[in-house]
């Protein structure tokens, strides 16, 4: 986690009580945010779903959701509240999730990212992700394309 002497920050698994705060982040970050029911289903019914949150001074400021199936995983969503961006919380969360997956024997991780979201693409590339293709008209709100990005966890050192 980022080192700031005035801040207590940590990462933990998401629970149902976090959904209100996660929804605020979701609405802040995305033009077509998920609804409460989607998060409830992910946390209670989807055996493949895993969600983590970043907590700063008792407040959920970011989250990451993924689906883990056998030895592959896919990020479903990841976001940090706008007022907490630029403090490495997103990077710390991604590194945490990647190390956790690696420890479970997951060998590859994928995600989609808007072609216009260059800050996120830069972070993902820093973490070892590589562009593998385009999903045309992927985003329903404006038909924007998405880059599909992959990282091989067993070949990638995420500690730097």
Residue 158 has pLDDT above 50, yes or no: no
Catalytic residue among 52, 84, 89, 124: 124
pLDDT at 67: 98
Is 4 inside a domain boundary? no
Is 37 inside a domain boundary? yes
Is 149 inside a domain boundary? yes
Q: Which two tokens stand for residue 43?
A: 């946390």
- Active site includes 21? no
Domain of 67, CATH number, reads 3.40.630.30
How does pLDDT run across 70-129, given as a tens digit for each residue?
999 999 999 999 999 999 999 999 999 999 999 999 999 999 999 999 999 999 999 999
Is 114 inside a domain boundary? yes
Q: Which of 24, 31, 25, 28 is nearest to 141 (CA)?
A: 31
What residue numbers bound the domain in which 104 lies?
9-155
Residue 5 has pLDDT above 50, yes or no: no
pLDDT at 115: 96
Is 54 inside a domain boundary? yes
- Quote the number of domains for the chain: 1
Catalytic residue among 91, 112, 139, 144: 112
Is 160 inside a domain boundary? no
Q: How confident is the model at residue 149 (pLDDT cuts 50, 70, 90)?
A: very high
Is 100 inside a domain boundary? yes
- Active site includes 10? no
On whether the CB atoms of residues 111 and 74 are closer than 8 A, the answer is yes
How does pLDDT run across 22-50, given as a tens digit for each residue?
999 999 999 899 999 999 999 999 999 99
Other CB atoms closer than 10 Å to residue 33's CB: what's the count? 16
pTM of the model: 0.88
């Amino acid at each position: 986690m980022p080192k700031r002497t005035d801040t207590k920050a940590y990462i933990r698994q998401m629970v149902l009580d976090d959904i209100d705060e996660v929804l605020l982040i979701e609405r802040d970050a995305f033009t077509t945010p998920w609804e409460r029911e989607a998060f409830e289903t992910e946390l209670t019914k989807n055996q493949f779903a895993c969600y983590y949150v970043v907590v700063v001074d008792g407040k959920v400021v970011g989250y990451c959701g993924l689906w883990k199936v056998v030895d592959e995983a896919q990020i479903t969503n990841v976001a940090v509240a706008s007022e907490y961006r630029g403090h490495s919380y997103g990077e710390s969360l991604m590194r945490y999730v990647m190390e956790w997956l690696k420890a479970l024997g997951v060998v590859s991780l994928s995600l989609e990212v808007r072609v216009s979201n260059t800050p996120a693409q830069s972070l993902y590339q820093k973490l070892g992700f590589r562009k593998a293709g385009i999903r045309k008209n992927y985003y329903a709100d404006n038909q924007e394309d998405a880059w599909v990005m992959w990282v091989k966890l067993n070949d990638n050192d995420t500690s730097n």
